[in-house]
Amino acid sequence: MTTNLHNRTCRVSRRRAFTMVEMLIVIAVIGIMSALVISAFSNAAQDTRRVIARQQQASVQNAVNAWVNSTSQQSGLAEARRLYNLAGTSKGRLQLVGGYLDDATLAHFLNPSNTVKDSEVRSAALKKTDQYLSLGSWSSNSYPKVELR
């Protein structure tokens, strides 16, 4: 009778505990789920940087458009093109149209720690995505473009 009672007690306690295989499966599932969550957050951060880069490109393009409109009304389109091309580099052209950007944005782009070359205009966000803005020369049969590279 004592042996029979002992067997019942052992069976009951075994049924209440997790087996090693069950524990390993739970740990594996938790590991997979955490990897998916971490991956989703890192992709979201990269997507946010890309959106910021596009917004900055649009902001500078709007400044160029406003400068071209204003200068061409005062001096003519040919003179506006000549002045724009005389600025020479992307950084010089940004300074030329900088009056149409707010001071903080212009200072952010002209911050020496962001600039690698005068032909590249960078912000901290663009630096993180390894991109830059290029303000190319303005030919007679086109319009000045701000390109994100």
pLDDT in tens, 86-128: 998 999 999 999 999 988 888 888 887 766 777 888 888 888 8
Instruction: Mention every residue, 6+ apart, whose C-beta is less than 8 A from residue 36.
Output: none
Which pLDDT band holds residue 47 (cuts at 50, 70, 90)? confident
- % the chain with pLDDT above 90: 43
Domains of the chain: which residue ranges? 2-148
Which pLDDT band holds residue 85 (cuts at 50, 70, 90)? very high
